[in-house]
Amino acid sequence: MDITTIVGLLLGLVALGGGFLLEGGHLSALLSPTAAIIVFGGTFGAVTLATPFEELKKIPKLLKIAFTYKPRDPMETIEELVALATTARREGILALEEKIETYDDEFFKNGVRLVVDGVDPELVRSILETELSFIESRHEKAVLPFDQAGGFAPTMGIIGTVMGLVHVLGNLSDVENLGPQIATAFIATLYGVSSANVIYLPLATKLKSRTKQEVLIRELMIEGILSIQAGENPNILGQKLKAFLAPNLRAPKAEAGEANVETT
């Protein structure tokens, strides 16, 4: 459960709605089905036109990730790598084969399997880096619809408001209701700007930062797997990988990892 996703979303909606209530408004005054059709329908249409079907299909999965993603602790990955390196030194590289069966990361297993298969180190690096760069670009592409929705929604809001004003100004006979009608026209702007800034854009930013975290973990894995293949000292390996992390993330579980260390 990604708590900041839910808290942030609720906070944003409550702040806007609550502020309006405290001003003495009724939330019903913010409801306008036509504005909703124009803004959300228009945004969805533009995003659909802009996005290949393969990408559109991923949106529900991405939403699930945004709300439930639990970031992995990079120190755990480092410890796993140091443990693997220790095993490889003591029992040989082939001993890694059965150990990796317990891991659930396909990328990691795939990389270790290449090492066990005795593939050339340069080729291992090239295969894993290619795979990682494609993972990265797929993730970036998958976030595009959210970014686009964040760009299209406010302009759809403006379109809705201008349409509303065109309608109001074209029929000025009903002067009594002029104010409420203009108010209704502005609801579209409200929908467009709010949905972009409370939902689409922050969600896109969150998903992008998740991608960066995933990529960091994978970079750790590539470095680790190649060091294991090169038969490097697990101690140096631990040192090198910890350089990828913030100092405060390095301390906690470091002892366990370093207990395995041998001197060359």
User: Please, which of residues 97-156 interact with a copy of itself by CB under 8 A?
Assistant: 106, 119, 123, 126-128, 130-131, 134, 138, 141, 144, 148, 152, 154-156
Candidates 82-90, 97-105, 159-167, 252-260: pick the segment binding a copy of itself (CB under 8 A): 159-167
Stretch that binds a copy of itself, among 81-89, 94-102, 195-203, 254-262 (CB under 8 A): 195-203
Sign (positive/negative) of CA torsion 188, 194, 47, 156? positive
Q: Which stretch in 76-84, 95-103, 185-193, 254-262 sits in contact with a copy of itself by CB under 8 A?
A: 185-193
Q: Give the residue among 83, 93, 101, 78 at the shortest CA–CA distance from 222.
A: 78
Q: Which is nearer to a copy of itself, 87 or 155 (CB)?
A: 155
CA dihedral 48, 215, 207, 155 (to 10 degrees): -50
3 binds a copy of itself (CB under 8 A): yes
From 85, 88, 101, 182, residue interacting with a copy of itself (rule: CB under 8 A):
182
Residue 193 binding a copy of itself, by CB under 8 A: yes
Residue pair 78/240 in contact by the 8 Å Cβ criterion: no
Q: Say how many Å lie between the first and final Cα of the chain, rounded.
A: 43
Contact region with a copy of itself (CB under 8 A), list: 75-83, 96-104, 245-253, 254-262:
245-253
DSSP state of 133: H
Please tell me whether residue 251 binds a copy of itself under the rule CB under 8 A: no
Of the two residues 18 and 90, which places its CB atom closer to a copy of itself in the complex? 18
Out of 31, 94, 162, 230, the only residue in the binding site for a copy of itself (CB under 8 A) is: 162
Tokens 């291992």, residue? 124
Of 33, 102, 104, 259, the one binding a copy of itself by CB under 8 A = 33
* Identity of residue 261: V
If you ran DSSP here, which 8-state letter would residue 252 be given?
A: T
CA distances from 126 to 5, 132, 185 (A): 35, 10, 56
